[in-house]
Structure 1
Amino acid sequence: MNKTYYILSLALIFLSTLSVQAQETEADPEHEKALRRSTNLTWEANKELSENDFVGAEADYRRAISKSTENIAAPYNLGNAYYNRESFSEAFGRFKQAGELAIEKADKHRAFHNLGNVFMKNKEYQKAVEAYKEALRNNPKDEETRYNLALAKEMLKKDQENQQNQDNQDNQEDQDEKDEKEQNQDNQGQQEQDQNQEQQDQQQGEQEKEENKEGEGEEKQEQEKQPQENDGEQKKQPKPNQLSPQQIKNLLEAMQNEEKKVQEKMDAKKVKGAKIKNVKDW
């Protein structure tokens, strides 16, 4: 908003206020007095604002607003003062108030045009579009409002595209996080399974080791018994120079047999040496 436009706006609003004042003079003197005091305070605030006395101007604008709701210039000018100081939330409240109180279309157009500007500063592009549309309904010929409306639509489109891209990115990040979580769970499950298998293998190995150890113990006991048995057998076996009872028995039998053979030979010789007697005939 340039300085010339700002001054013209103040002048037009002031003229509108004078018009309302003239209509109300005869009908309600007290109302006319309140409107006049409000108008005077507005001019004082305008002067203070031009002298860079914002605090004094703000106070007089507020007093002017409290004196009469018919004075559209007071909230509108205070809104401009806030807007130029980039106090956009306060500016919004005063422009909204001016738009709601305004009766003339020109006053409504200016109030909603500036509301659109506030929304643009706050990057509330959808609200800015609606505000500029309302301003154009009251003054369709204003090219500045029409330009701002086109700009607001373009910014809204870009904002929606960026939001969509951000949503897609967020969804992708959520999906990636979900996939990673599931993968970690799978890995953890596999790791636990491997650990269980390892424990089972270890237990089986220890069991086999114990069984082997027991087997070695039994084998050792068996080996320890075997020398004892061999010792018994060795004890039973005769010494090299000593005949066993069976050998003695066999030897005696052999001697007897040999003695018997000798005896038989001797007997045979005796028979052979004797003369044979003649056989008697019958």
Structure 2
Amino acid sequence: MKMNNINIGISIIFMLIGLTSNAQTDKGLIRQGNKEFKNGNYSEAEVNYRKSLDKEYSPKAQFNLGDALYEQKNYEAAEKNFSEVTERNVSKSLESDAYYNLGNTYMAQEKYAEAFDAYKKSLKTNPENEDARYNLEYARWKMIKQQQEQQQQQQQNQDNQQQQQQQQQQQQQQQNQEQQEQQQNQDNNNQQQQQQQQQQMSKEDAERMLKALENQEKETMEDMNEKKAAQMQKRKSEKDW
């Protein structure tokens, strides 16, 4: 059977093909699975199809199992079963339908390139499958749109990355400038402190030199006074004699 599906924006009807049984499988399990499927009891249908396959393999039973899994939105498991049917030695009609439903399963997972390939194989096997032809074009459109969106997202990511790098560079430049200004201020403060220390030392040196000169002048005056006193004393002694 082909699954019904409605896509937002564009409605795509995946027409149902009849559920099938195989004379070599347990007909009671197949019939029960078909009944459960038609009543919307897809998990119960799955159980019956699996029991039938456990008794004896049938590509058509596995095909119906894929349908039941698809309706339960277990797309990966459905994909696996439909894919295995295409690898079996089955009729062209069943092979085409398996590729068709495989394409539907890929579409449900937004694997549009894979869906496009599956629909193309369905048409190759059965060129009269008009549903596959229609869905092929829809898958092509979705695939191109997805590629464009991915390219736009990649471009957006690149733009965001470049913008982030620019912001980081600006922040780094600002940080470097602030560090340079801090270093310059520190150097200026150090220079001012050195100048103040030099000025302080120069003042202290000048005071010491002035005091030394005063002491030297005082000593010189004292020496001169002592010599003068000694000369006067000598003259007085000579006169008294």
TM-score in terms of structure 2 length: 0.76
Contact 1:76 / 1:94 at 8 angstroms: preserved in 2?
yes
Distance 1:186 1:4 in 2: 61
1:60 is matched by which residue type in structure 2?
Answer: N
Match 1:99 to one of 63, 86, 89: 86
Deviations, residues 212-238 of structure 1 (Å, cap 9, x unaligned): 111222334456567778999999xxx
Distance 1:53 1:191 in 2: 71
After superposing the two structures, state which structure 1 stretch, 226-235 or 104-113, moved more: 226-235
1:213 is matched by which residue type in structure 2?
Answer: Q
2:18 matches 1:9: yes
SS in 2 for 1:86: coil
2:149 matches 1:162: yes
Match 1:59 to one of 43, 47, 60: 47
Deviations, residues 120-151 of structure 1 (Å, cap 9, x unaligned): 11111110000000110111122211111101
Compute the displacement of 1:162 (Å): 0.8
Bigger CA radius of gyration: 1
SS in 2 for 1:160: helix
Contact 1:72 / 1:98 at 8 angstroms: preserved in 2?
yes
2:203 is matched by which residue type in structure 1?
Answer: E
Identity of aligned residues (%): 28
Distance 1:75 1:131 in 2: 18
Query: Runs of 5+ in structure 1 lacking a partner?
Result: 19-34, 236-282
- Number of positions where the alignment pairs a residue of Structure 1 with one of Structure 2: 212
What is the 5 A alignment of 1:1-282?
A: 1-2=3-4, 5-6=15-16, 8-10=17-19, 13-14=20-21, 17-18=22-23, 35-37=24-26, 39-69=27-57, 71-221=58-208
Distance 1:151 1:51 in 2: 30
Contact 2:43 / 2:72 at 8 angstroms: preserved in 1?
no
Instruction: State the structure with bigger RCO (CA 8 A, min sep 6), 1 or 2.
Output: 2
The structure whose residues are more often helix, as a share, is: 1
Deviations, residues 55-101 of structure 1 (Å, cap 9, x unaligned): 442222112112333x2221111111121222212211221222222
Deviations, residues 202-255 of structure 1 (Å, cap 9, x unaligned): 1111100001111222334456567778999999xxxxxxxxxxxxxxxxxxxx
SS in 1 for 2:73: coil
Cα distance change on mapping 1:127 and 1:55 into 2, 3 Å:
closer
Distance 2:162 2:43 in 1: 54
Contact 1:42 / 1:73 at 8 angstroms: preserved in 2?
no
TM-score in terms of structure 1 length: 0.66
2:59 is matched by which residue type in structure 1?
Answer: I
1:166 is matched by which residue type in structure 2?
Answer: Q
Compute the displacement of 1:183 (Å): 2.6
Query: Runs of 5+ in structure 2 lacking a partner?
Result: 5-12, 223-241
Compute the displacement of 1:5 (Å): 4.0
Give the RMSD, CA atoms, in angstroms. 2.8
